[in-house]
Structure 1
Amino acid sequence: MTRGSDMHSGSTQSRPHDADAHARALAAATARLAGEPAAALAAAIALLAEAPDLLPAQLLAGQALFRLGRLEEAVARLSALAVLAPEVPAVRWELAQAAAAAGQPETAITALEQLTRQLPAVPGGWFLLGRQYRAAGRSEDGWKADLRGVAASTQDPELLKAALAMQQGELDQAAAMLVARQARAGGDPPASRLAAEIRWRQGDMPAAIAGLEAVLEQAPGYDMAREFLIRLLVQSNRLPDALAHAELLATSPVQNPGHDLILASVLVHLGEQGRARGLYEGLLAKTPNQPQVWQNLGHVLKTLGEQAGAVAAYREAVTRQPTLGEAWWSLANLKTVKLGAADIAAMQAALATLAGEASPRAEDLFHLQFALGKAHEDLGQAEAAFRHYLEGNRQRRAGISHDADAFSAEIDAATGVFTAPFLASRRDGGCPAPDPIFIVGLPRSGSTLIEQILASHSQVEGTMELPDMMMIASRLAARVEAGEFADFGAMMAALTPADRRRLGEEYLERTRIHRKSDKPRFIDKMPNNWQHTGLIRLILPNATIIDARRHPMGCCFSAWKQHFARGQSFSYDLVEVGRYYRDYVRLMAHFDAVDPGAVTRVIYEEMVADTENQVRRLLGAVGLAFEPACLEFWRNDRAVRTASSEQVRQPIFTDGVDHWKAFAPWLGPLTETLGDVVTDYPAVPASLTPI
């Protein structure tokens, strides 16, 4: 904001040499304002005694009174000045700040409404006006003022320069620009939002979240900052917080359908499929031509077990956007749906269309390849199916990071740390609650079947694949990477009984949001938790761990031809998936040896062949009495989010046990990598048995 230099220099009766003297005195007094406001006030009053019409001195006096905390006097003086100099923005700005500090929002609002009409491109006026509207109980007007401030900030050359540096990867330089700006101006929500994004890009998620929360304290109507915060909260699995912000965002005075999409996404993460469905259907009722929303509705309907509705939704999506690869794959991935020749022709045409585009989305390309593989497999065309699966996996593998050697080294470290003496010396400690039932193993191992059987018991609630144990493990590993501990073993050894109890309680608290009933037990079906068996034993010693195991060829091939939305980076190469399976068998064999009985193994083929006896054995391992409903698991209408969601809604069938054999001629790399794990299955080969 401009200051007194824009105002009349003084009385029209002043002589030239008096005006020069007044200007010099005024400049000297203004220079003392920041550090010596009392001296600046005294100088301003002295000037006004000589030249009562010297308006810059009136402004300086008001500024000094404000800085001295004499707020009522500052407001009175600046209000009078605003009548005399209505065209000077600095007067209204200073009046607004003083009135805001004095708890006079109506006075501040009047000044700021006039100021923002005069200078609509200055963000600070809008943000202060938003705060004063809220102080006066006008929350919607405050929200709109914040949005006007955000819009004005998009033309700020300094912010644009910092944003460009960030986009070019010059994060430290961009951060330095913003630090200098904040030191100079302060209270700048757009700059603070940009600083939070830089923190996120630097890998400091807690600082980014804290920064965005501070931004929204200043400017609750900053919708784009709230959208970004919701995204980071979901990534951090702070789902209740994400939901609160998403529900608030949905009330924005700006009618943005994207806000409903964000809310629906958070609801899906929370397992609130019914509410998400209502939002998607509401959006489509207003605007049907939204292929992505049709796809999202299909995902929800599939999870809810409404297969016909899911098929119809996916068909709507690909009809409206034939190149939408994920929708084609989602349709193909309905295990009880078979695609035909017409679908294959449509997908080939979609690939041809994408080939003509300058930069087609990689996601569309590899999703279409996986879908074509499934379509040819449905038609019994194994060679053509394998060709498409191979290409889809090649494309997907090119875009992800997986180091099989580094992963094997992590398993080596785990077997070296979690020895029998180490575990025996840590029987005390940890959270004693028996609530969690972990179902671990590889994806496509029959874990969803086990989950559905257990979730059909009156004492067990099925949730979903929960990321919380993996997030706790990652946080602990980060302490090693940060140099706090020499290695993984030192970090684990440093955990006291109280530490382990606190971590176990943290896991229960983090997962509580997913428990919708009062059943005493619940299932966490995150397959990758097999890697954290040792940590589970330390922090939740009374939890149940079920190892879902399937024939290595069937399991690995099924994982390889399955495109996973996230998390299974090992599965897109036949050699790497084989190595992963061997590492898994090796670690679980280790725990069988050093902590007998800690893990209960369920062999998929045995469950299929002798269901009732295996179900009774499974329930016994969990400590539950047999209930007939567990044998009629397909009648359970709970939401199931995994790739096997349709299969567990029907009685057990054996069709998929040996389906890999049709592809055996092309699975040489997998067979060779698995080696004796195949020939000795279901026993553990001597090569992987602890000495």
Structure 2
Amino acid sequence: MAGPAAPLAQAMAHALRLLERSPALALEQAEEILRQAGPHPPARLVQAIALERCGQAPAAISEMESLVSGHPGWATAQIEFGLMLGRAGHGERAIVALSRGLALAPEHPQAWRILGDHLSATGDDAGADHAYSMHTRHAASDPVLIAAGDALVANRIPEAERLLRGQLQANPTDVAAIRMLAEVAARLGRLEDAETLLARCLELAPGFHAARHNYAMVLHRANKPEQALAQIERLLADEPGNPGARNLKAVVLCRVGDYLPAIELYEGIVQEYPEHGRIWLSYGHALKTAGLRERAIEAYRRSIALDPGFGEAWWSLANLKTFRFDASDIAAMDAARRQPGLDDEQRAQFEFALGKAHEDAGHYGPSFEHYREGNRIRRAALPYRADDASTRVQRSRELFTPAFLRQREGSGCPARDPIFVVGLPRSGSTLVEQILSSHPSVEGTMELPEVISLTHDLRREGAEGGAASYHDVLATLDPGRLRELGERYLERTRVQRKTAAPHFIDKMPNNFFHVGLIHLMLPNARIVDVRRHPMACCFSGFKQYFARGQNFSYGLADIGRYYLDYLALMAHFDQVLPGRVHRVVYEHLVDDTEAQVRALLHYCGLPFDPACLRFFENDRPVRTASSEQVRRPIYREGLDQWRHFEPWLGELQATLGEALDTYPEPPPARAADRSMRQ
């Protein structure tokens, strides 16, 4: 029997057809249904969607809000509401609605993808990864891909890899399987494999949005910012408001030093996700680096207000160095670090921030206890073997003998562009960089990872032949290959250069390990070694929570050993390449700034410029922990701050030994060391 339901169903089917080709007519049809049938939920859904497509987004959102409020268990309505909120720029609310809808009905792959984009924009990488994995799981219809997707969601990586390799052996152009296998490779840290797979995936399916987003992420993680930006622009060309792509673009722009457009992007994102502390934190980092200190403090404070237990935001305030906590801040941090369930990373950041707060207040005993506890937590999470650094130094000293270097004279790329500033972190290298970059012929960039990336390339090249280190490969390279390495370095760093200045600075301190490689591939590049008193330098590193790397810094004996290895390697190059490296002693720079600056500029082949003495007026972006300090004139107060902590630094003093007596020169070389240099 055809009752009233039959005409209603026919009218709804007609409304849905109209929705695709004429939203205005669909709106009229939905309103007519509602007049005839009363508050019919499917007709209200069509009405809301049609309103949005007719350009009436506020009215559509109001209607959807009423609809989902009355039908909280209706998954389709919740998901449509979330999608609509996201398109209108209400990212915070979109996350809530999409999460509710997908909890009710998880079989909506595109909704998972869009939820992943929103979560990626807020900095919730774990949540985004889960959403993207669920998208992969539900987008697949092949039973093998469904099983592989389940394994990926559950992080059963070996099982997922086995299933996907079998699928691709039978179906080599299955783009869904290729993308999933790339995800496996990325999770295992095999970025080169992931990059190759995703490039192939997009070659087969250029419109595969999710794969392109993955590709941009992998390129960013592989230190290929220009290529990553190219992929992000393609994503944004198709979907200009995509929040995940916009956030990733801001991250990559910061990576290449384009902070002002990154800040503009973050300003839009924090308006869409005002309740997510991690976005405010990223925004604060960009503001800090651009020298916008007060705005950075406001962003960090906003992050803390949203989540008082967010240790990283508290440490970010401490890491401004010139910022001072008050008593209420100290009480809040002390309470937050004691909260049950706080993860170790956040707890460590609270300890470092409290160490800084108590040090500023002159409470040196409590300050040291907080520093010690923060380092203990960090050390447990980042195992470090001091012998490994000593072995690297020893291998370098064995390879770079006078005879070896003479045989390769005239090799490498002749460009004079780079000025490498090396040393230990917290040695004063940022100050030297700020001085040099104040010269009109020199551009400051950041701590560039390209030299270290080249060592990784060489290590991979030698892995098949059983090479123990990149030095083994370097020893076999002819002049043409050495020149190619230098040219590759220049090409990879080109994206960091924003001006026409003939020189640029690479201030990666750990490049002291690679002075020999730098000399061989760029023989005309300048190398400046910045040296600070061992106790001051080492203890300053011990007080620092580094975002990544510098694992040696979380133990007093380890950091002392590292300093001694640094001294030994630089002494070796002073012997085998006399005059090749220019040394700036931090204390001498403080005592007689002009004479030291003149000597530095002379070494770099640059005429003296008075702007180098007014370096604190330079408003360029500075990414390191000293960013606020180098925007002030040189001051002496920091030279002996470590002495306040001397009662607790016996282990460091004992490790450094003779280096304390001979500073700034290294301890006398042992007979075996001297013979190695012959």
TM-score (norm 1): 0.75
Number of the residue aligned with 1:70: none
| TM-superposed deviation, 1:183 | 4.2
User: Is 1:278 aligned to residue 278 of structure 2?
Assistant: no
CA distance in 2, matches of 1:412, 1:607: 30
User: Is 1:454 aligned to residue 436 of structure 2?
Assistant: yes
User: Is 1:302 aligned to residue 288 of structure 2?
Assistant: yes
| TM-superposed deviation, 1:569 | 1.1
Aligned partner (choices 268, 289, 314) of residue 275 of structure 2:
289
User: Is 1:414 aligned to residue 414 of structure 2?
Assistant: no
CA distance 1:203–1:290, shift in 2 (3 Å):
closer
User: Is 1:648 aligned to residue 630 of structure 2?
Assistant: yes
3-state secondary structure, aligned to 1:315:
helix
User: Is 1:507 aligned to residue 489 of structure 2?
Assistant: yes
Q: Is the 8 A contact 1:586 1:688 kept in 2?
A: no
Number of the residue aligned with 1:361: 343
Number of the residue aligned with 1:628: 610
Q: List per-residue Cα deviations over 1:540-592 (Å, max 9, x = no partner).
A: 00000000000000000001110111121111111111000000000000000
User: Is 1:207 aligned to residue 189 of structure 2?
Assistant: no
Between the two proteins, the alignment pairs up a number of residues equal to: 547
| TM-superposed deviation, 1:375 | 0.7
| TM-superposed deviation, 1:165 | 4.3
Query: Quick one: percent identity of the two aligned structures?
Result: 48
CA distance 1:155–1:342, shift in 2 (3 Å):
farther
3-state secondary structure, aligned to 1:438:
strand
Counterpart AA for 2:164: L
| TM-superposed deviation, 1:216 | 2.5
Aligned partner (choices 222, 225, 242) of residue 236 of structure 1:
222
Q: Is the 8 A contact 2:137 2:150 kept in 1?
A: no
Number of the residue aligned with 1:669: 651
3-state secondary structure, aligned to 1:316:
helix
Number of the residue aligned with 2:12: none
Q: List per-residue Cα deviations over 1:443-499 (Å, max 9, x = no partner).
A: 000000000100000110101000000110122123344335476554222110001
| TM-superposed deviation, 1:361 | 2.8
CA distance in 2, matches of 1:688, 1:258: 56
| TM-superposed deviation, 1:310 | 1.1
CA distance in 2, matches of 1:147, 1:386: 44
Counterpart AA for 1:452: Q
CA distance 1:122–1:442, shift in 2 (3 Å):
closer
Q: Is the 8 A contact 1:585 1:688 kept in 2?
A: no
Q: Is the 8 A contact 1:147 1:223 kept in 2?
A: no
3-state secondary structure, aligned to 2:452:
helix
Q: Is the 8 A contact 1:464 1:523 kept in 2?
A: yes
User: Is 1:401 aligned to residue 387 of structure 2?
Assistant: no
Q: Is the 8 A contact 2:138 2:146 kept in 1?
A: no
CA distance 1:572–1:664, shift in 2 (3 Å):
same
Number of the residue aligned with 1:41: none
CA distance in 2, matches of 1:378, 1:657: 15
Counterpart AA for 2:623: R
Number of the residue aligned with 1:7: none
Number of the residue aligned with 1:603: 585
CA distance in 1, matches of 2:213, 2:566: 39
Aligned partner (choices 524, 536, 543) of residue 542 of structure 1:
524
3-state secondary structure, aligned to 1:596:
coil
3-state secondary structure, aligned to 2:413:
coil
Q: Give the 5 Å matches for 1:52-63.
A: none
| TM-superposed deviation, 1:234 | 1.5
Number of the residue aligned with 1:583: 565
CA distance 1:483–1:515, shift in 2 (3 Å):
same
Number of the residue aligned with 2:503: 521
CA distance 1:428–1:455, shift in 2 (3 Å):
same
Q: Give the 5 Å matches for 1:143-222.
A: 152-153=138-139, 157-165=143-151, 171=157, 173-222=159-208
Number of the residue aligned with 1:247: 233
Counterpart AA for 1:277: I
CA distance 1:486–1:655, shift in 2 (3 Å):
closer
Between 240-249 and 471-480, report the one with greater CA deviation. Answer: 471-480
CA distance in 1, matches of 2:142, 2:644: 63
Aligned partner (choices 296, 302, 327) of residue 316 of structure 1:
302
Structure 2 residue ranges without an equivalent (≥5): 1-106, 110-131
Q: Is the 8 A contact 1:462 1:523 kept in 2?
A: yes
Aligned partner (choices 597, 615, 620) of residue 597 of structure 2:
615
Aligned partner (choices 227, 230, 247) of residue 261 of structure 1:
247
User: Is 1:350 aligned to residue 336 of structure 2?
Assistant: yes
Q: List per-residue Cα deviations over 1:202-248 (Å, max 9, x = no partner).
A: 55322210111222233444443233222221222111011111223
CA distance in 2, matches of 1:122, 1:651: 58
CA distance in 2, matches of 1:182, 1:478: 26
CA distance in 1, matches of 2:203, 2:652: 55
| TM-superposed deviation, 1:412 | 0.6
Counterpart AA for 1:546: V
Counterpart AA for 2:358: H
Q: Is the 8 A contact 1:147 1:221 kept in 2?
A: no
Counterpart AA for 2:196: A
Q: Is the 8 A contact 1:440 1:529 kept in 2?
A: yes
Q: Is the 8 A contact 1:340 1:379 kept in 2?
A: no
| TM-superposed deviation, 1:258 | 2.6
| TM-superposed deviation, 1:250 | 3.3
Number of the residue aligned with 2:546: 564
3-state secondary structure, aligned to 1:686:
coil
Number of the residue aligned with 2:312: 326
Q: Is the 8 A contact 1:147 1:222 kept in 2?
A: no
Question: Rg: which structure is higher?
Answer: 1
Aligned partner (choices 440, 453, 467) of residue 471 of structure 1:
453
CA distance 1:221–1:375, shift in 2 (3 Å):
farther
CA distance in 1, matches of 2:221, 2:309: 28
CA distance 1:154–1:331, shift in 2 (3 Å):
farther
Q: List per-residue Cα deviations over 1:614-673 (Å, max 9, x = no partner).
A: 000000111100000000011111100100011111110111111000011111111111
CA distance in 2, matches of 1:275, 1:487: 40
CA distance in 2, matches of 1:682, 1:271: 34
Aligned partner (choices 327, 335, 341) of residue 327 of structure 2:
341
CA distance in 2, matches of 1:352, 1:486: 45
CA distance 1:383–1:147, shift in 2 (3 Å):
closer
3-state secondary structure, aligned to 1:458:
coil
CA distance in 2, matches of 1:222, 1:367: 40
Aligned partner (choices 631, 639, 649) of residue 657 of structure 1:
639
Counterpart AA for 1:463: T
CA distance in 2, matches of 1:368, 1:666: 21
Number of the residue aligned with 1:593: 575
